[in-house]
């Protein structure tokens, strides 16, 4: 087969002579296989054939042992198979060339044991087998001892290249077989590749001495670093514990906020309903105190939830147009009564260069300003509080809150924006109240909007906080200044309220009825589906956390039932993804608990307007 040197061709004739040898004719010559000697011999043009291509089925072996075969050129070959073969001879194998590659060129090597240079890594050997019978049928094998794993067959290629030689002594072994199967004597070439200077014996001694010197010096340095690393590990451990405690605190605040929002709806809503009734002066004052305390608790709750979102990296900012002048006017309207109550002057100025429309999160900007103004009013005993708004040459809005309060020391400023920290620590909290979160969250909100908060303060004179926000100007006309609640009809809508908490349901229904709406209350999803099937409704308000069927599933069922009224989601959830889920479920509005009458009216009017402007949804058949 091919392992004995037989070409991979299809035979055109086969015969076996009286000596048991097989003769195979092909398009690439005549081949003879001697099973007793285990030797294959090929005959071709170099053996006297006029053509090496034999015709198909054109070979016949006579009784006398004469083999006749027709060739492709029209001639006939006659071969006496009984004639004895010439005695086997040993072909001579010689080294035709040995070269090394240096600087991109091959350089010949001479001598029985050529010596290489330290930089030599690539070697080329070319052999020659002195065989006169079909030299193309010669086969070569080489073995670089220590580099190859054994003999490497090269077939008819007499040349081989080695790369990546390692320093040391090497032996190249070579042997060959001619076309008749005669093996040559093995040739050996000994080589020596010296190592580079830095791997010589003297260099190794020098390296050893240098290593010992470095080890001695490193030993001294290690002892000094051990104590330093111990201190760093202790500091890192303390930092990890502090971070873990902070994250646990944020998770607790987020869970607490979710649980507090529902009862807060009852507290603030019932207070608002109570204030709508005829009360005596003392009763009204007490009810106002309840509402003020509840709103303060709500602000603390919102600060805690913002902190949890910031630490979780899930704080989302709106990118919508708003009028900074109108926003500042609203903030001033809320702050002025507080300042007057404390006997302070309050002034608000807006520069003419401030644009009438910018892109950003108006709610977060309002939150920052109310935090700063609330602190200024709270910590200023006498004098004034000012709010100034301007824009610099780069288009950055700058909101400045200035007061004539006690001012701050340098060490107080350093911890002023830290979470749960106040200027004088517990003493400030005991005297003025507060959680120590407002300024920390305000700075992080400003940073999230690409800006920051700076402070200039003088003890005994006052402080000036500057909020810089790079809010891009919105293309005009963008804004519609009319409030959604004001543009909506005063009341008279037929509404469905789905809320499982009886107190919250009573509060929301009472706030809506106080504005002239007709409200039907359902405590769960199945009751809501039954009411929606028979009542003419203008809108529905759905709590998302209902027993059995939640608000999102209920919305899908209402749409499948053919109810096309606007849906307003009301929830105590604090996670930011809930708004996207609500919008995907087909709600026209979203409102977080606790709710007030004004927020309900605004959200309901916006949902009705949005639903009126939207195309009719595609409904499933009943």
Would you say residue 231 lies in a domain? no
Confidence of residue 284 (pLDDT cuts 50, 70, 90): confident
In this predicted structure, the answer to whether residue 425 has a pLDDT above a threshold of 80 is no
Q: Which is more confidently placed, 421 or 280?
A: 280
Q: Average the pLDDT over each of 332-336, 393-397, 436-440 and give the range with the smallest value.
A: 436-440
- pLDDT tens figures, 541-580: 999 989 989 999 999 999 998 888 999 999 888 776 788 8
* pLDDT for the residue 359: 92
Q: Specify if 73 maps to a domain.
A: yes
Query: Residue 436: what pLDDT?
Result: 64
- Worst-scoring range by mean pLDDT, 319-328, 427-436, 550-559? 427-436
129 and 24 part of one domain = no
pLDDT category, 324, cuts 50, 70, 90?
A: very high
Predicted local distance difference test score (pLDDT) of residue 486: 43
Given strand 54-61, what is the order of strands in its sheet? Answer: 54-61, 66-71, 76-80
- Is the residue at 374 inside a domain? yes
Q: Is residue 622 part of a domain?
A: no
The angle subtended at Cα 457 by Cα 451 and Cα 458, nearest 5°, is: 170
The rounded mean pLDDT for the chain is: 84
- As a whole number, mean pLDDT of residues 514-528 equals 92
Question: From edge to edge, which strands make up the β-sheet containing 187-193?
Answer: 152-155, 139-145, 168-177, 187-193
Quick check: 197 pLDDT over 80? no
Say which residue the tokens 């824009």 belong to.
391
| CA angle (318 as vertex; 401, 358 as ends), nearest 5 | 60
- Same domain, yes or no: 459 and 490: no
Residues 355, 449, single domain; the answer is: yes
Strand partners of residue 145: 148, 171
Mean pLDDT, residues 456-478 taken together? 85
Q: What is the dihedral of CA 499, 503, 504, 509, to 10 degrees?
A: 80
Determine the pLDDT at residue 323.
92
Q: Which of 53, 80, 107 is the last residue of a domain?
A: 80
Look at residue 435 in the predicted model and tell me its pLDDT: 52
Distance between CA 73 and CA 501 in Å, rounded? 107
| Residue 291: CB atoms within 10 Å | 18
Q: Tell which of 80, 115, 149 closes a domain.
A: 80
Has residue 619 got a pLDDT over 50?
Answer: no
8 A C-beta contact, residue 305 and residue 312 = no
Strands 384-391 and 345-350: parallel
pLDDT value for 123: 92
CATH code of the domain containing 334:
3.30.565.10
Q: Which of the listed residues 170, 199, 228 is the one where a domain comes to its end?
A: 199
- Three-class DSSP category at 246: helix
In which domain, by residue range, is 394 found?
324-469
* Poorest-pLDDT segment among 51-60, 241-250, 464-473: 241-250
Task: Show the tokens assigned to 388.
Answer: 């100034």
Residues 52 and 174 in one domain: no
In 27-51, which positions are buried (b, 16+ CB within 10 angstroms) versus exposed (e)? Answer: bbbbbbbeeeeebbbbbbebeebeb
pLDDT tens readout for residues 50-85: 888 888 888 999 888 899 999 988 898 988 888 887
For residues 426 and 531, membership in a common domain is answered with no
Which range among 15-24, 137-146, 255-264 shows the weakest confidence by mean pLDDT? Answer: 255-264
Tell me the C-alpha distance between 102 and 583, whole Å.
73
Specify the CATH number for the domain of residue 538. Answer: 3.40.50.2300
Residue 368 exposed, middle or buried by CB count within 10 Å (0-12, 13-18, 19+) = buried
113: nearest Cα among 14, 193, 199: 193
Per-residue confidence (pLDDT) for residue 10, from 0 to 100: 79
Is residue 41 located within the same domain as residue 143? no
pLDDT tens, position by position, 15-28: 999 888 999 998 88
**Across residues 391-417, what is the average pLDDT?**
87
The mean-pLDDT minimum among 109-118, 211-220, 455-464, 580-589 falls in 109-118
What pLDDT, on the 0 to 100 scale, is given for residue 180? 74
Q: How far apart (Å, rounded) are the C-alpha atoms in residues 97 and 94? A: 9
Per-residue confidence (pLDDT) for residue 429, from 0 to 100: 45
The HSE-up count of residue 151 (CA atoms within 13 Å, CB side) is 10
CB atoms within 10 A of CB 127: 24
pLDDT interval class at 6 (50, 70, 90): low
Provide the CA 510 distance to its chain's centre, in angstroms.
49
Q: Which two tokens stand for residue 110?
A: 């001479």
With cut-offs at 50, 70 and 90, classify the pLDDT of residue 433: very low
Query: Among 136-140, 210-214, 561-565, where is mean pLDDT lowest?
Result: 136-140
Cα distance between residue 22 and residue 25, in whole Å: 10
CATH number at residue 160: 2.60.40.10
In a domain, 577, yes or no: yes
Specify whether the CB–CB gap between 529 and 588 falls below 8 A: no
pLDDT at 528: 92
Give domain status of residue 27, yes or no: yes
115 pLDDT more than 70: yes
Tell me the C-alpha distance between 546 and 523, whole Å: 8
SS3 assignment, position 326: helix
Closest by CA to 439, choosing from 410, 472, 413, 407, is 413
For residue 274, the model assigns a pLDDT of: 86
Specify the pLDDT at position 614.
65
Question: What is the spatial distance between Cα 349 and Cα 354, in angstroms, rounded to a whole number?
Answer: 11
User: What is the pLDDT confidence band of residue 266, given thresholds at 50, 70 and 90?
Assistant: confident
To the nearest 10°, the Cα dihedral for 52, 55, 57, 58? Answer: -80
Cα torsion 564, 568, 571, 576: sign? positive
Angle at 147 between CA 141 and CA 150, to 5 degrees: 40
Q: What pLDDT does 481 receive?
A: 41
Q: Which of these, 44, 241, 233, 20, lies nearest to 135 by C-alpha position?
A: 44
8-state DSSP, 473: B
Q: Starting from the edge strand earliest in sequence, which strands make up the sheet with 518-522, in order?
A: 518-522, 494-498, 539-543, 567-571, 589-592
Quick one: average pLDDT of 255-260? 74
Residues 143 and 12 in one domain: no
**Is a pLDDT exceeding 90 seen at residue 488?**
no
* pLDDT for the residue numbered 489: 46
Confidence category of residue 201, pLDDT binned at 50, 70, 90: confident
> Total structural domains in the chain?
4
pLDDT tops 60 at residue 533: yes
> Does residue 261 fall inside a structural domain?
no
pLDDT at 432 (0 to 100):
43
Confidence of residue 519 (pLDDT cuts 50, 70, 90): very high
Identify the weakest region by mean pLDDT among 36-40, 204-208, 596-600. 36-40
- 396 and 523 part of one domain: no
Identify whether 182 is part of a domain.
yes
| Integer Cα distance of 11 and 58 in angstroms | 11
Q: How far is CA 528 from CA 103, 406, 543, 549, 591, in A?
A: 89, 58, 11, 11, 19
**One domain for residues 45 and 155:** no
Quickly state the pLDDT bin for 298 (edges 50, 70, 90).
confident
pLDDT top residue among 247 and 351: 351
Residue 463 sits in the same domain as residue 495: no
pLDDT at 417: 79
Q: Are residues 465 and 503 in the same domain?
A: no
Does residue 464 share a domain with residue 340?
yes
């Amino acid at each position: 087969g091919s392992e004995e040197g037989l070409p991979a061709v299809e035979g055109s004739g086969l015969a076996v002579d009286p000596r048991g040898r097989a003769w195979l004719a092909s398009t690439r010559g005549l081949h003879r296989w001697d099973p007793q000697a285990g030797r294959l011999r090929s005959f071709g043009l170099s053996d006297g054939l006029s053509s090496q291509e034999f015709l198909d089925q054109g070979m016949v072996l006579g009784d006398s042992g004469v083999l006749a075969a027709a060739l492709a050129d029209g001639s006939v070959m006659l071969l006496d198979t009984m004639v004895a073969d010439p005695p086997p001879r040993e072909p001579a194998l010689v080294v035709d060339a040995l070269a090394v590659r240096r600087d991109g060129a091959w350089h010949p090597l001479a001598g029985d044991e050529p010596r290489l240079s330290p930089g030599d890594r690539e070697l080329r050997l070319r052999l020659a087998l002195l065989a006169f019978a079909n030299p193309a049928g010669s086969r070569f094998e080489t073995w670089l001892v220590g580099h190859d794993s054994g003999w490497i067959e090269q077939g008819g290629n007499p040349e081989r290249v080695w790369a990546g030689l390692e320093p040391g002594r090497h032996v190249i072994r070579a042997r060959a077989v001619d076309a008749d199967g005669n093996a040559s004597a093995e040739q050996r070439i000994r080589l020596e590749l010296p190592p580079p200077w830095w791997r010589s014996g003297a260099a190794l001694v020098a390296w050893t001495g240098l290593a010992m010197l470095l080890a001695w010096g490193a030993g001294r340095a290690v002892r000094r670093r051990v104590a330093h690393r111990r201190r760093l590990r202790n500091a890192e451990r303390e930092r990890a514990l502090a971070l873990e405690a902070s994250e646990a605190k944020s998770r607790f605040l987020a869970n607490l906020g979710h649980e507090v929002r529902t009862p807060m709806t009852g507290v603030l809503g019932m207070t608002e309903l109570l204030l709508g009734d005829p009360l005596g002066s003392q009763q009204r004052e007490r009810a106002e105190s309840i509402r003020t305390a509840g709103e303060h608790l709500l602000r603390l709750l919102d600060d805690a939830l913002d902190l949890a979102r910031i630490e979780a990296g899930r704080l989302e900012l709106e990118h919508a147009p708003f009028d900074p002048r109108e926003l500042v006017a609203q903030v001033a309207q809320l702050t002025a009564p507080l300042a007057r109550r404390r006997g302070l002057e309050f002034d608000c100025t807006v520069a003419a260069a401030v644009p009438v429309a910018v892109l950003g999160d108006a709610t977060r900007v309002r939150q920052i300003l109310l935090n700063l103004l609330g602190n200024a009013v709270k910590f200023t005993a006498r004098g004034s509080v000012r709010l100034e708004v301007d824009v610099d040459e780069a288009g950055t809005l700058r909101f400045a809150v200035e007061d004539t309060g006690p001012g701050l020391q340098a060490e107080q400023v350093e911890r002023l924006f830290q979470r749960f920290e106040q200027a004088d620590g517990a003493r400030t909290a005991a005297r003025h109240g507060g959680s120590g979160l407002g300024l920390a969250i305000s700075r992080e909100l400003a940073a999230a909007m690409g800006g920051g908060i700076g402070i200039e303060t003088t003890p005994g004179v006052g402080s000036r906080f500057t909020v810089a926000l790079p809010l891009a100007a919105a293309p005009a006309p963008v804004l519609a200044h009319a409030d959604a609640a004001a543009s909506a009809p005063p009341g008279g809508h037929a509404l469905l309220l789905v809320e499982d908490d009886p107190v919250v349901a009573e509060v929301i229904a009472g706030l809506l009825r106080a504005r002239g709406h007709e409200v039907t209350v359902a405590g769960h999803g199945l009751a809501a589906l039954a009411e929606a099937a028979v009542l003419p409704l203008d809108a529905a308000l759905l709590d998302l956390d209902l027993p059995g069927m939640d608000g999102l599933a209920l919305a899908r069922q209402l749409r499948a039932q053919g109810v096309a009224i606007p849906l307003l989601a009301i929830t105590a959830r604090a996670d930011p993804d809930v708004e996207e889920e609500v919008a995907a479920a087909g709600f026209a509005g979203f409102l977080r608990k606790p709710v007030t009458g004004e927020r309900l009216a605004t959200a309901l009017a916006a949902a009705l307007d949005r639903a009126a402007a939207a195309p009719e949804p595609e409904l499933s058949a009943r």
